[in-house]
Amino acid sequence: MARLPRLTIPGYPHHVIQRGNNRQPIFVDSADREHMLALLAEYAQTFKVAIHAYVLMDNHIHLLATPETADGLPSLMQAVGRRYVRYFTDRHGRTGTLWEGRYRSTVIETERYLLACMVYIDLNPVRAGLVVQARDHPWSSHGHYIGQRSDKRITPHPLWWTLGNTPFAREAAYAEMVHAGIGAGPTTALTDATLRGWALGSEGFVKDLQKLTARRTAPMRPGRPPGRAVSPE
- Cα–Cα distance list, 81 to 99, 105, 124, 185 (Å): 8, 15, 21, 31
Question: What's the confidence (pLDDT) of residue 37?
Answer: 97
CA distance 99 to 178: 29
pLDDT in tens, 5-58: 889 999 999 999 999 999 899 999 999 999 999 999 999 999 999 999 999 999
- pLDDT at residue 130 is higher than 80: yes
Count Cβ neighbours within 10 Å for each residue of 55-80 and write b for 16 or more, e otherwise.
bbbbebbbbbbbbeeeebbbbbbebb
| Residue 102 scores a pLDDT above 50 | yes
Q: Which residue has the higher pLDDT, 32 or 221?
A: 32
Q: What is the Cα–Cα distance from 145 to 94, expressed in whole angstroms?
A: 36
How confident is the model over 174-209, as pLDDT tens digits? 999 999 999 999 999 999 999 999 999 999 999 999
Nearest Cα to 52, choosing from 42, 62, 38? Answer: 62
pLDDT of 1: 44
3-state secondary structure of 140: strand
The per-residue pLDDT for 135 is 95
Residues 6+ apart with CB under 8 A from 208: none
Domains of the chain: 14-210 (3.30.70.1290)
Residue among 151, 146, 149, 152 at smallest CA distance from 167: 146
Q: Where does the pLDDT of residue 230 fall: very low under 50, low under 70, confident under 90, or very high at 90 and above? A: very low
